Amino acid sequence: EPLVDADFVALVMAMDLEAIYEHPAFGGNSRHARRNAESQLAEVKAEMAEAERVYLQERAELVQAMQLLKRRQLRGED
């Protein structure tokens, strides 16, 4: 299990964005900055969840194809 996972990285990025949005150069208040950062974090998490779903689906399809190929090889089919 990695010590740093994608959720942790996304959270750190959101915290950094919140700090940037609070900076006087952007003129944002902390509530607006937090909302903006949380919104971006939610988007990143949703994209990561979709990518993981697609990966797991493709992996399952590959496993099924490999199992079918092994069965055919064991039967002597080519």
pLDDT digits (tens, 9 = 90+) for 20-75: 877 777 666 777 777 877 888 888 888 888 999 999 999 999 999 999 999 999 99
Residue 70 has what pLDDT?
A: 93
- For 76, the 3-state DSSP assignment is coil
The token pair at 38 is: 């949380």
Question: Is 30 a member of any domain?
Answer: yes
* Contact status, residue 26 vs residue 20, Cβ threshold 8 Å: yes
Under DSSP, the state recorded for 2 is: -
Q: Return the closest-CA partner of residue 6 out of 41, 35, 54.
A: 41
Q: Which residue has the higher pLDDT, 55 or 13?
A: 55
Residue 1 belongs to some domain of the structure: no
> So what's the pLDDT on residue 2?
59
| Range(s) of the domain holding residue 34 | 6-75
Q: Cβ contacts of residue 34 below 8 Å, gap of 6+?
A: 18
Please tell me the chain's helix, strand, coil percentages from 3-state DSSP, rounded to the nearest 5.
80, 0, 20
- The total number of structural domains in the chain stands at 1
